[in-house]
A and B are shown apart, each in its own frame.
Chain A
């Protein structure tokens, strides 16, 4: 907390100044070599880094092959990136018709636009919320077609397209549902409370894979003859419902941490329940729960890979089919490394973004 008016007195002294070199030396000594044991660890780590980094770089980049048509073009001891570069369209767009790929690109662009949009402070919150509500619908329409666009069967969806689509739409729907579940669990109305508790506890006690199998097999039993829901839609719903249950618990924790004075002040000023929640309590709770919520978003993004088990080919599915394709046999290392890199880049970006958001909000506060 900073005090707004700092009084200065005649006997105030400027803090002592040291040269930059001295400060650097002192911090190196303090952080890397504080005790003999820690100095030893620092040295071992340094040796490993010096030994390992050139080897890794050599395999990944310097001796690696990036151009060519088939496995035969891979010479030298380095990585063979050809299965990725040759099949990059398959990895990104799956079996989407070539003519319609622009639609996927627009959908990706719209999804990526969320980050800068949240970044810019001057934009009215209402526009952002509106964008986030409309975005999943627009994405669905772009990818699936209809209403002016050529329809594309969801059996053609595969690769990064599926991963991004499930991840982004899952996130956008899971948060509001999670909020409602959290409020439901704290509700004073017994029926709403019971339903929320049952739902959250059921979903949390069952592995996602089970839920996915249920979605792919069981739901069909309960639907009337002839009516089928797209398998893609079904796994999406499972992922949303699953993430929402976990988010509900995180948000509930945040709600419990709110000082009761905030509820009392809102009550005393005549705010209704929904206004209290949306204008006063939730903005504070969401701010406090950004780190765990983001962990769950990242978790959701990685959990989308489980859809492989019910026959939806996401980026992992494409990778697996590539490793077993006869012309690229024996290149698992490269393919799975690419897969790991893909997930790392996206998840790490999200994580950096969240820590930036946190700092921004702290600055706002004091």
Chain B
């Protein structure tokens, strides 16, 4: 565990700007109340892990941040811009907020390299040469450079997820959202993806991760948010969250998940 020592807040210490600010957010799917009065503030450089049982609304919450899901009530502002239905503003936010998905969602008709360059050339107006250079440097970082000319279908799940993270990073995002990045992976591939995420955290990236990897949360998170039934039940630094959870619901969840998770880590 000591290999992943907590990165020190150097850059973000002097300018604690707010990256994401969520205020009394409510969301319904039909009659189902998916998010209930959620309020959460994330400062730049902060690493938040959101956990909770399935159906608790954790994925819905981070998908609201780049508006893959629309909320119906409450305010939500990202990087100082309020999401109010304005297309231009939303587009700007989406280009500054990267996301990695449970099922990677790489574009299967494009090569790995093209997956990483197309968003840059088409959405950031970056030249082809520069896009390729930057994409290769990121593929290098996730150790996928030698696979640059392959197609996603030729690669394993862990490899695809690392590429998906590199693709998101190609947009030079200021915030990264992770929606259960390791849930669809075979056990032996989980660590290669987590390594990339830890590396990113050490770099000072603002991160919101929905994950069941409690080892990762303990090592990397600044705060762990526990959700159940669309509400935030508990919110604490990992030390306190894991060692002295306050709410009985959290305690119950942790005993269930750690009985399992402890064997892995």
Contact mask B91-103 → A, CB, 8 Å, 1/0?
1001101110101
Residues A283 and B109 in contact, CB atoms below 8 Å apart: yes
Residues A364 and B151 in contact, CB atoms below 8 Å apart: yes
Taken together as a complex, chains A and B put the C-alpha atoms of A3 and B105 apart, in Å, by 19
Q: A268-B98, A280-B107 are in contact. Are A275 and B68 (CB under 8 A)?
A: no
Taken together as a complex, chains A and B put the C-alpha atoms of A269 and B153 apart, in Å, by 20
Residues B94 and A265 in contact, CB atoms below 8 Å apart: no
Size of the B side of the interface (Cβ < 8 Å), in residues, is 30
Q: A4-B147, A268-B98, A270-B94 are in contact. Are A262 and B105 (CB under 8 A)?
A: yes
Majority-rule SS of A interface residues: helix
Q: A3-B156, A264-B101, A275-B123 are in contact. Are A270 and B95 (CB under 8 A)?
A: yes
Q: Name the interface residues of B104-129: CB closer than 8 Å to any CB of A.
A: 105-109, 118-119, 122-123
B150 in contact (CB, < 8 A): yes
Taken together as a complex, chains A and B put the C-alpha atoms of A259 and B167 apart, in Å, by 19
Taken together as a complex, chains A and B put the C-alpha atoms of A267 and B99 apart, in Å, by 10
Output the least CB separation between A271 and chain B (Å).
6
Q: Please, which residue of chain B has its CB at the minimum distance from the CB of A283?
A: B109
Output the least CB separation between A5 and chain B (Å).
10
Question: Which residues on B sit within 8 Å (CB–CB) of A264?
Answer: 68, 101, 105
Residues A261 and B151 in contact, CB atoms below 8 Å apart: no
Q: Name the interface residues of B200-246: CB closer than 8 Å to any CB of A.
A: none
Taken together as a complex, chains A and B put the C-alpha atoms of A268 and B68 apart, in Å, by 7
Residues B122 and A279 in contact, CB atoms below 8 Å apart: yes
Question: Which residues on A sit within 8 Å (CB–CB) of B164?
Answer: 265
Q: Please, which residue of chain B has its CB at the minimum distance from the CB of A361?
A: B109
Q: Name the interface residues of B129-167: CB closer than 8 Å to any CB of A.
A: 147, 150-151, 153-156, 164, 167
Of B91, B94, B109, B150, the contact of A287 (CB 8 Å cutoff): B109
Of A3, A279, A284, the contact of B118 (CB 8 Å cutoff): A279
Contacts A262-B105, A268-B98, A366-B154 aside, 9 further interface pairs with beta carbons under 8 A come to A4-B147, A4-B154, A4-B155, A261-B103, A265-B101, A268-B66, A268-B97, A269-B94, A269-B168
